[in-house]
Structure 1
């Protein structure tokens, strides 16, 4: 469940929350939001590479992945154009009440699945999770749903929902190339 079920649940719950907000308020993001469920990472980043190749001609401006379990997010990081950095400062202030700090580097690589997109100049949003327990269950028979703390999972969904909404409703340039 930590790998990869939690990331799938976080991503789909984030998309559902944003859709419910759009349906309820009539507000729509300026940018398209796409949910990708990556595959074949451990076998050579096949899904990430295939996605980057299939969408090479598109203007994808930002990518992020939730692939570090279900424990709380404690920091944000980015790799975006300088003109996009104020957005990430705003994002940090929105995420601070969730106990999330802002990193200062703007040198995030994203995860292995978004790495191929980042290499083409797509900006990176990285919400860093506490991985203290991750490798206790990662790829073991103990990787089961009962290891997921619901409060921490909810914090992940809240953080991703806020971050994605802010990025999708902003028009500052985020691509690095």
Structure 2
């Protein structure tokens, strides 16, 4: 998929010429992850980057599940590495911890959910998991995605976190 061909110059054209398009969910995830990576490289705000990357991570994870490769999802690999070192922590608790940041952005269901507390590591974990799921599902990484992979690998060498 040529990600650049889906960019729209300006705002007026899509409003002046309304139309309906059908998108493959994999293409939507690719566009979201590519956009998140471009925003990350540009130094844009963490919250939209995290949100776009989280949506892509979930979508690519679902694609892996539909391919019969649930255990190849980044979150499953993380659970295999972390849970043996965390006695008493369940898989569900780990998943809740990992996805808490994303869900805090998306949901405002209860009275007390008025603020989002963002651990900066959540951005790296989410981008890493989205990029890994994308690659595991058989999709080619864009130049922006590869640039973020290189940045994360330099910042977090294997065995030290967001791999």
- TM-score, length basis structure 1: 0.27
Select the structure with the greater relative contact order (CA < 8 A; seq sep ≥ 6).
1
The structure with more radius of gyration: 2
Structure 1 or 2: larger strand share? 1
Structure 1 or 2: larger helix share? 2
